[in-house]
A = this chain, B = another copy of it.
Amino acid sequence: MKKYYLLAPGPTPMPPRVLQAMTRPILHHRTKEFVALMKSVSTDLRWLFETTSDVLVLNSTGTGGMEAAVTNFLSRGDKAIAVCGGKFGKRWAQIGKAYGVEMIEIEVPYGSAVDPATVARLLDEHKDVRAVFTQGSETSTGVAHPIREIAALVRHRPDTLMVVDGVTSVGVMPQPMDEWGIDVLVSGSQKAFMLPPGLAFIGVSAKAWSFAERSTLPKYYFNLTKERKTQGNGESAYTSAVSLVMGLRESLNMMKEEGLPAIFRRHALLAQATREGLVALGCELLAKTHPSAAVTAVYPPSGVAAGDVTSTLNKTYNITAAGGQDELKGKIFRIAHLGYAGRFDVVTAISALEMVFKELGHQFDSGIGVATAHRVLEAGGDL
């Protein structure tokens, strides 16, 4: 009997009460009950995104939300900056190029955060940049980009939007849309929302809506203007993924009960304990200066192959963690601590990794990783 643990950065485990909510009989999406559900969900998404503007629900995974963030605000031939510091930063560039947007790519070394000065310089050089695309948390590297600083550069440019992929930063790290001046903020259901994959969320500022009026890129399924009109009435342009929305109602309830400051503090503490525990075991952090609170990416101790770490976790301990992606494939592994994650998930992860490292022949003081993580968690106080 080996219990199954899911420690990858999405999909993340689901709380029983969210699962229960999703098993209620299917609601039809054109009923008073569903209208009430959508309206209450919209209200609480605005709370979560910290905006008085709109947050729309899309029936797709996060990449669909990213596509919507390009096609609804830009036109063919527009110029935009993409921060490419990992697989998902590159995705911004790929989507833009697929739709004929001229993408200025900032190549950021994997593991580093973008320097806001680089963004400032490019914005100076290219007065006609219509949008800056970046990640709040680059899931492939575990880096948190300095969103606040970049948003401050964009804020006072009436012709430029600040667009953030918050797939693993919304509900994980502070990122108040209105206060910081984020114009478009995308997230997905299988991360901090503690739901299965299948919903994307997109916050849209008033400034972004004015861009939408002039956007000529083609779109139909991801037409945010149409969604805004229907979701404002508690409906949706097309069929809603009703079971996921029923689960979303419950996961938002849980988030509201915990409160944003506590959510952010919890994620920060779990991330710190994970980092310190892994370093104590001889791992090297990929993100040395700007770590994400959602996921920690590390190089394994010398002599240990990253691929062996994830496969042994899986085979011997029935634990799913994540390896590296694209150019980091086979070089790193990643441990997530977001969503329905608590102190003892970190203890479990570090304990399992100690066992795996031992099995793979790495020498270290047995228990040092667990003890280190434990001390951080204990010092963190109540969660």
| Residue pair A218, B218 in contact (C-beta under 8 Å) | yes
| Residue pair B322, A30 in contact (C-beta under 8 Å) | yes
State how many angstroms separate the Cβ of A300 from the closest Cβ of chain B.
19
| Residue pair A11, B26 in contact (C-beta under 8 Å) | yes
Task: Please give, as numbers and ranges, the residues of chain B lying within 8 Å of A292 by CB-CB distance.
Answer: none
Chain A: interface size category = 35 or more
State how many angstroms separate the Cβ of A347 from the closest Cβ of chain B.
20
Task: Please give, as numbers and ranges, the residues of chain B lying within 8 Å of A217 by CB-CB distance.
Answer: 218
| Interface members, chain A 20-61 (any B CB < 8 Å) | 22-23, 25-31, 59-61
Asked if A241 meets B98 with Cβ closer than 8 Å, knowing A31-B314, A64-B59, the reply is no
| Residue pair B238, A61 in contact (C-beta under 8 Å) | yes
Considering the chains assembled together, what is the distance between the CA atoms of A241 and B59 in angstroms?
10
Considering the chains assembled together, what is the distance between the CA atoms of A14 and B4 in angstroms?
27
| Residue pair A239, B10 in contact (C-beta under 8 Å) | yes
Please, which residue of chain B has its CB at the minimum distance from the CB of A71? B218
Considering the chains assembled together, what is the distance between the CA atoms of A221 and B238 in angstroms?
17
Asked if A198 meets B241 with Cβ closer than 8 Å, knowing A99-B218, A100-B218, the reply is yes
| Residue pair B6, A221 in contact (C-beta under 8 Å) | no
Does A63 belong to the interface (CB within 8 Å)?
A: yes
Task: Please give, as numbers and ranges, the residues of chain B lying within 8 Å of A28 by CB-CB distance.
Answer: 6, 8, 11, 320, 322
Does A94 belong to the interface (CB within 8 Å)?
A: yes
Does A152 belong to the interface (CB within 8 Å)?
A: no
| Residue pair B63, A221 in contact (C-beta under 8 Å) | yes
| Interface members, chain A 190-243 (any B CB < 8 Å) | 190, 196-198, 217-222, 238-243
Task: Please give, as numbers and ranges, the residues of chain B lying within 8 Å of A64 by CB-CB distance.
Answer: 59-60, 64, 221
Task: Please give, as numbers and ranges, the residues of chain B lying within 8 Å of A22 by CB-CB distance.
Answer: 22-23, 243
Considering the chains assembled together, what is the distance between the CA atoms of A66 and B31 in angstroms?
25
| Residue ranges of A at the interface with B (Cβ–Cβ < 8 Å) | 4, 6, 8, 10-14, 19, 22-23, 25-31, 59-64, 66-67, 94-95, 98-100, 188, 190, 196-198, 217-222, 238-244, 314, 320, 322
